[in-house]
Every structure is written in C-alpha cells, then in structure tokens.
Chain A
Amino acid sequence: MKREITLKINGREETITVEDADTLLEVLRDRFRLWSVRESCGVGACGTCTVLLDGRPVSSCFLLAVRAAGRNITTLEGLSDGQSLHVIQQAFVSQRALQCAYCTPGFVLAVKALLDEIPNPSDEQIREYLSGNLCRCAGYADILRAARLAQERQISKETAMPRK
C-alpha cells in the first residue's frame, strides 16, 4: 500500500509518499540522498545504517518507514550545524578514528546516543554500547579513544557554557 507520511528528518518536516514495504534506510538514501546512512549487513548487526529515532539508536535497514511517521529522525548530516563539526566528529578526526570511514557515521551517532543517555560512561559501558557497531579496518582502539575524548570535551563544554 502507498501512503503519505510526514517524517521529521534532521529538524525539517518532510511529507512524502512511501510504500508500506519501504525501509527507512531506503527512504533516507533514495528519496533524501542522505548518503551517510549505509546498508551493510542488512540484519541489524553491523551498525552502518544507524540513525537516531527520537534520540535513540536504531537500525534503519529493518525499520519500516511508515512506522517512523511523526518521529524525529537524526542522521549524521543533522548532527553538526553545517559549518563546524560536532564535538564527537572532531574527536574522531583528532584521534584518527577512521580509515575507510564506511562505519564512521554509525559510530558517531552511537557515541551521540551513548553520551546523551550516560554522560559519564565507564570504559566497559562504552565498549558494551558500541559493541553493535563493526569496523572492519579494525580501528577500535582509536574509536574508543575518540569516544572518551568526545565525552571529556562535551563535559568541559557544558561546564563552560551551561545549557539554557
């Protein structure tokens, strides 16, 4: 069945017609050209298709787009303001936590969800939270360092500029 739905993608309301069988990943890539959302394993194991649904990490590859109607969807493109990199992205760059970078958008969003949920995670919590994101260039040590650095910078940023 075709139907019209409204998705809030990176803060913008978008009304489109989708098939019930369309996955959110297909809609984000094919209709909105959000290329940071990538399909790899196709079964929720690898994390390259990670998006945030109302702030929570989900695999867009097996989420039906119609079931995301009315919800807030954040992709990597929505993380920064378009001018400067988000603190998590900066940490990935400074720690060289990427090589081919296919997995990076998923990792960055996973770190975002982690720090939103647990502002001061233990090393064990970081590892557990990120265990569902796979990096085949094997940059895990760098990625874990980037996650820690992002957490420290985020904390110091919040101390310097308290939220309104």
Chain B
Amino acid sequence: MTIRSFDLLQPRSLAEASDLLLKHRDEARPIAGGTTLVILMKQRAVHYPYLVDLQSIPGLNRIAKEVDGIRIGALVTHRTVELSRLVRNSFPVVAEAFSTIGNVRVRETASVGGNLAHADYRLDPPPALLLLKSEVTLFGPGGSRVIPLKDFFTGMYETALEAGEILVDVKIPNMPTGSKAVYLRHSALSANDWPCLGVAALVSKENGRVRELRLALSGLAATPVSVDGLEFVRDCSFDDSVLDRILGIVDEQIAPFYDLRGSEWYKRRMARVFVRRAIAQLESQA
C-alpha cells in the first residue's frame, strides 16, 4: 500500500458531511474527484486520517440551466463541463478552460469543486469563472452562504471555507449581451502541464463601440487575479496607448514569483504578451 492508512467516511447528506468535518477538524479533508488529493497522499506530501467522500452525497454532480445563468455542481467532472452542450453553446470560454487541463483521464476524474477548493495559483478554470463573475455556494454548520468566487480565494492553497464548510456549486451568470470571451494558457513546459499562466478576457460591445473589458488571470500571483480599474476602456478603441494603459494596470495588479515555469521577470513579460494576444483575438473575431 502506497498511501498511509486512512478511513473513507461516506456521508449521505451535506449536513452529515459537515458534521464529520467539524468532528475531525484538521484530521479530515473532503474528497471530491480525488485527483490532486490522492496524488498528494501517495507522495506523502499530506496525510489525513479521515477523508469525507463527497461522491456519496446525491445531487452534487449536476449542471442546471437557470434563467440568469447555469449552476455547476461541485462534483461535476472537468470532462462533463468540457463536453456539455449547454456550457459549450452559452459559455464557450468555460468549456475551453476546462478542456485544456491535464489529459482526458485527469479530466474524467477531477471535479469542478475540487479544482476551486484546492486553490492552486496556476489552474485554468478560475480565470474563466472569475471573468464571468461567478459565485460559489458554501454549505456549513450555519447553513448555506453564497459569495463571489473572487472572495473565495484568500491565499495560496487557501480559501474562504471555514471549519465544516463544503463547496456545493458554482453559479455562472449569463454572458453580457454583445460579449465575447477567450481563454489563453501559456505552457512553459509540456502542453499537459499546469500552465505557466492563464489569461481570460471578455470584451462586450454595443453598436460597434466597446462597452466593457474584463480580464482575469492565473499563475501570476498567490491567487487568481480579477483585474480592476478597466472601466476607462468604454468607448475607446484598443489602440497602442489604450493597450499600454491596460498592460500597465495588469502589471500593477499581479505579483508573480519564480517557479519551475518561469521567473518573475519572464511571467511579467508573458503576461503582457498574452493579455495583448487575448484582446487581439477578440478584436479579430468582431
């Protein structure tokens, strides 16, 4: 046996799962798709005497269409999102982001909730979901609460989840009318690797005039970054001076650091390249 012995607890409801997490505190961890967590346990990077199996709770693996968007259950796999007609038609940028992760086997097992709750700084889905101002539902001892995904990421591998709380689903509001979005990832190592950085961009237009630009990034700080202060682009065209101002704002809001996939200097340079490329791609589609 490669993994140190543990007990897999299989609750039948969120309330029961929450109780188990509260009871065992730091000795327990929820397990969703069990991709990253099981690998980390195999490598003995982490050990938990108890795993609380979220797969045994019914109803967490659904994608539901709602009037103002879609709701994706925490246990929905990356592959299901990638292939979902609903997601592909209405939120192609989300399908695109999930389809770039790892390989088909990883995407068959890894879950949407697990990906978000792991809160790694260089994952593909967070920029696409942040771009669309998604919200997450958390269930805990005090009941349910809904918070913006932006506020869910609090630090490297750290989230707003409190003791006994479980991520239940992510709500993606409909794309603004007249908008297009794109997700670009830069792989510094192999294509199946984590990205060096990811850039999601959205441009919405009205009568050919720019109404809004949104940017969300990953791999460029301890948490995914939703870029603020881009309101000035309204009614502008993306000429060199406007692009320079955008890139300046991005540069101020990121805090990249050295890892296997590049130095801080390199990542700042690549952030410029990929933000520019994402905007150019959206402009060329217009």
Does residue A62 face the partner (Cβ distance < 8 Å to B)?
yes
> For chain A residues 66-89, which have a beta carbon within 8 Å of chain B?
66-67
B65 contacts the other chain (CB 8 A): no
Chain B residues within an 8 Å CB radius of A105 = none
**Extra pairs beyond A21-B6, A58-B108 (13, CB < 8 Å):** A21-B3, A21-B41, A22-B3, A44-B103, A44-B105, A56-B79, A57-B105, A58-B109, A62-B38, A63-B34, A63-B109, A64-B38, A133-B103
Residues on A with beta carbons closer than 8 Å to the beta carbon of B1: 19, 21-22, 26
Docked pose: A109 CA to B8 CA in angstroms = 29
A59/B105 contact (C-beta < 8 A), A1-B7, A21-B4, A67-B34 known: yes
Query: Is B174 in the interface zone, CB < 8 Å from A?
Result: no
Q: Is B192 part of the contact surface with A, judged by Cβ < 8 Å?
A: yes
Which B-chain residue is minimally distant from A20 (CB atoms)? B8
Q: Which 5 A-B pairs have the closest CB atoms?
A: A132-B103, A21-B3, A20-B8, A1-B7, A62-B38
Indicate whether B286 reaches chain A with its CB closer than 8 angstroms.
no
What residue in chain A is nearest B55 (Cβ atoms)? Answer: A67
Number of interface residues of A (CB under 8 A): 30
| Chain B residues in 8 Å Cβ range of A21 | 1-6, 41
- On whether the beta carbons of B103 and A47 are closer than 8 Å, the reply is yes
**In the complex, how many angstroms separate the beta carbon of B48 from the nearest chain A beta carbon?**
11
User: Contact mask A10-51 → B, CB, 8 Å, 1/0?
Assistant: 000000000111110010000000000000001111010010
List which A115-158 residues lie within 8 A (CB) of chain B.
129, 131-133
CB contacts (< 8 Å) of A129 on chain B: these are 104
Contact at A131–B192, with CB atoms within 8 Å?
yes
A–B Cβ pairs within 8 angstroms, 28 of them: A1-B6, A19-B1, A19-B5, A20-B5, A20-B8, A21-B1, A21-B41, A22-B1, A23-B3, A26-B2, A42-B39, A42-B42, A44-B105, A44-B106, A47-B105, A56-B79, A57-B108, A62-B35, A63-B38, A66-B8, A67-B53, A67-B55, A110-B104, A131-B103, A131-B192, A132-B105, A132-B106, A133-B103
